[in-house]
Amino acid sequence: MADDNDKPKEPLEEPEEQPKPDVPGVTVPADVTGTPPSSAIPDAGEAAGADAEKAAMVEQAKSRVAAVKESLAEKAAQPAPGAPPGTPKPPVKKKEEGPKPVDASGNSLVKKLKAQFDGAVSEAVEFLGQVSIRIDAARIVEVCDFLKRDQDASFNYLSDLTCVHYPMNREAPLEIVYNLLSIKRNERVRLKVGTTEKGSVASVTSVWPSANWMEREVYDLFGVSFSNHPDLRRILLPPDWVGHPLRKDYALEFIENEWTERHLPVMTEVQREQLEQRRAYGLEILSVPQERMMREIFQGDKEVMPKDK
């Protein structure tokens, strides 16, 4: 009796591939499926078998995406349900515009300043309840003093003093901004003063002593000079630093400048070891070996931080 194992085995039938369900409301071509057909995949053993199979699957995926986009576009172009044939699609509603600055000449504070200081106020606008008044640079101190001492105004707190650089405005590219707060009335007002790169603005430290460091910061980072300042010098950068980093024309990337050439000379391995020894004994506290390495990065055209392209 012949053994059942000697009988030839019938090949197993491969399970049929189940088609993937279509996206609701989207028409996909019948010949496009989730996986490439067997004819598009090369046989095993070919030189570029894996790469060719991957490329075929990528092309099939791209075809599906293109078909979905085309179907969605056709569906969006159809008129609303119940509309008669030939009815054009309603226009897309434009986004509502946001608030815009309005003229604030009728503001009571602006009227009071114009009456008190003839010609000192050149412009006044209001935006979202915030009044901004442009003041003549030569009269900024007396205007600030009046706003602080007047009983109706009572702007007794200088909350901020900063600067904005407008390179395209050649007449006054630098604009000093004073943000004043009335603690008594819980009201704010913004003063603006324009100046040139070589011009100067009178210091308001006589009105608000807290303006001392704020004006030093503007002087350091924007290069605006303040006359009658008690101690006008850099506050963040070294005294002999060249340039003002917050100006729009200042380079954003790391560059080698005169300060690095003067204070961070390239050191040999022996000099670095000697510096570390001096630091270990407390003889050198203002220099570290890592500072000298910055020049090597600059000269090697290496990026310290990735930049957005």
Q: What is the pLDDT of residue 285?
A: 55
Please report the domains of the chain, with CATH numbers, ordered by start residue. 102-227 (3.30.460.80), 258-299 (no CATH)
Reported pTM: 0.60
Provide, rounded to the nearest whole percent, the portion of the chain with pLDDT above 90.
Answer: 41
pLDDT digits (tens, 9 = 90+) for 130-158: 999 999 999 999 999 999 999 999 999 99
> Cβ(182)–Cβ(190) under 8 Å?
no
Task: Say which residue, 271 or 42, is predicted with more confidence.
Answer: 271
Q: What is the pLDDT of residue 219?
A: 96
Which DSSP string corresponds to the chain? ---GGGSPPPPPPPPPPPPPPPPTT----TT--SS--GGGSPPTT-TTHHHHHHHHHHHHHHHHHHHHHHHHHHHHHSPPTTPPTTPPPPPPPPPPP----EE-TT-HHHHHHHHHSTTTEEEEEEETTEEEEEE-GGGHHHHHHHHHH-TTT---EEEEEEEEE-TT-SS--EEEEEEEEETTTTEEEEEEEEE-SS-EEE--TTT-TTHHHHHHHHHHHH--EEET-TT---SSS-TT--S-TTSTTS-SS----HHHHHH-----HHHHHHHHHHHHTTS--S--HHHHHHHHHHHTT--SS----
Q: What is the pLDDT of residue 26?
A: 46
Residue 304 confidence (pLDDT) above 90: no
Residue 298 confidence (pLDDT) above 70: no
Q: What is the pLDDT of residue 212?
A: 96
Closest CA to 217 of 229, 228, 206: 229
Residue 1 confidence (pLDDT) above 50: no
Residue 276 confidence (pLDDT) above 60: yes
Residue 225 confidence (pLDDT) above 50: yes
Q: What is the pLDDT of residue 28?
A: 46
Q: What is the pLDDT of residue 23?
A: 45
Q: Among 33-37, 74-78, 214-218, 261-265, where is mean pLDDT lowest?
A: 33-37
Q: What is the pLDDT of residue 47?
A: 46
Q: What is the pLDDT of residue 41?
A: 53
Mapping DSSP onto H, E and C, the string for 51-116 reads HHHHHHHHHHHHHHHHHHHHHHHHHHHCCCCCCCCCCCCCCCCCCCCCCCCEECCCCHHHHHHHHH
β-partners of residue 157 are 181
pLDDT digits (tens, 9 = 90+) for 236-249: 998 888 889 999 98
Average pLDDT for 88-99:
75
Q: What is the pLDDT of residue 45?
A: 53
Q: What is the pLDDT of residue 230?
A: 94
Calculate the average pLDDT of the chain: 79
Provide, rounded to the nearest whole percent, the portion of the chain with pLDDT above 70.
Answer: 70
pLDDT band, very low/low/confident/very high, at 73 (cuts 50, 70, 90): confident
pLDDT digits (tens, 9 = 90+) for 113-127: 999 998 899 999 999
Q: What is the pLDDT of residue 188?
A: 94
